[in-house]
Amino acid sequence: MKVQHIIDDLQSVFSKQPETKDYDVAFACYSEDGSGSIEIDYVEAFDWDEDEEFFLIPENCAKHYEREAVKYKAAHFVEELKKIQIENFSEFETYVREKIKIAKDGSVISLNSPMWGTGVHDAEKFVYFYHGKERA
C-alpha cells in the first residue's frame, strides 16, 4: 500500500459516506492467537524517512518520534497528507509502527508492519487501515 492509496481509499469512502469525513483514524490487525478477532489502535501521528517509507504512529507514542500528538478526523488526515511537499511522497510504502519499546538509552525500537487495506467501522465511527498478516 502506498500513501496515494490511503488518499484514494478515503476519498472514495467520503464520496459514498460523507459522514465518514468526521470519523476517527485508526489501524487494525488480526490478533496473533488465530481467533480472527481484530485489534485496533488509533493514529496519533505520522512520519516518514529517507528510505521513502511512511509510518502511522499509535496513540501515546508521538512523543517518542518527536511528533505532535493529533486526534485526527479522516478529512483532516487526508488534508495533512496532501500538504506534504516531498518528491514521490505519494509513492512511499506505508507501515504501522507497532510493538514500540523504549530502550534504556532512550532510543526507540519498533516493528514496522506493512499496511494492506482500508475499512470503515460505522458503529464506532472510525476509518482504519489493515496491517500485518492477512486473515487466512
* Per-residue model confidence as pLDDT tens digits over 84-96: 999 999 999 999 9
The whole-angstrom separation of Cα 55 and Cα 47 is: 5
What's the whole-number average pLDDT of the chain? 92
Residue 71 in 3-state DSSP? coil
Question: What DSSP designation does 35 have?
Answer: S
Instruction: Answer whether residue 49 shows pLDDT above 90.
Output: yes
- Cell, residue 24: 476517527
Alpha helices in the chain (DSSP H): 3-16, 74-83
Residues in the chain: 136
List, for residues 26-41, the tens digit of each pLDDT value: 999 888 777 778 889 9
Whether the Cβ atoms of residue 21 and residue 121 lie closer than 8 Å to each other: no
Report residue 105: phi and psi, to 5°: -85, 0
Instruction: Answer whether residue 110 shows pLDDT above 90.
Output: no
